[in-house]
Chains A and B, each alone.
Chain A
């Protein structure tokens, strides 16, 4: 079975540019999560969706960040405008309904803002 697929794997861009990260969850999973990992703050939950609807976006750092899930098989995380402090590894994860269901993570997107 295909796992969670994230693209691109690496992104290097200049400050002020728009960045779009993409995620394809595992088929049949109805929850999708976006995380960010930095050395200073570790793994942080940014936002999560259930059945394509955002449930909790309290972890989104500021208005420059936005996330959408237009359908069950695709989600995007956008940063506009990007800043050097946004440099991090961004992970997407998906799972089925239920606390007894583990989350499955993608390989992440390593983002560097110059």
Chain B
């Protein structure tokens, strides 16, 4: 599975959009981009995933560049409860390989 690179930390004001970037320049054509988050001491929580097209669900939007080398997770209106570590993972097999993720701090 391709390696992903994320900034170690980001801040966001409550109510504003949080845009979390992920670089996956070596991603192969059959690998999905998955996003999970982990709120302190809880199990990772699935957010969204995509292959080529942009995706949206009730939690977030996923924007994948046309060359698929990078993506952005968008939380449209961040709340304090969105403070967590966000993981971007390229998935080509059954396994999830977690990196170090981005620690998002939402402040009032």
Please list the residues of chain A having a beta carbon within 8 angstroms of any beta carbon in chain B.
4, 31, 33, 42-45, 48, 50, 55-56, 89, 91, 93, 99-100, 102-108, 110
Contact = CB atoms under 8 A, between A and B. Distances in A.
26 contacts: A33-B95, A33-B96, A42-B98, A42-B100, A43-B38, A43-B44, A43-B98, A44-B98, A45-B95, A45-B96, A48-B95, A55-B94, A56-B95, A99-B32, A99-B92, A100-B32, A102-B46, A102-B49, A103-B46, A105-B45, A107-B42, A107-B43, A108-B41, A108-B42, A108-B43, A110-B41
Contacts, number: 50
Interface residues of B, number: 21
Contacts of A103: 44, 46, 96
Instruction: Tell which of A42, A89, A107 has the most Cβ of chain B within 10 Å.
Output: A42
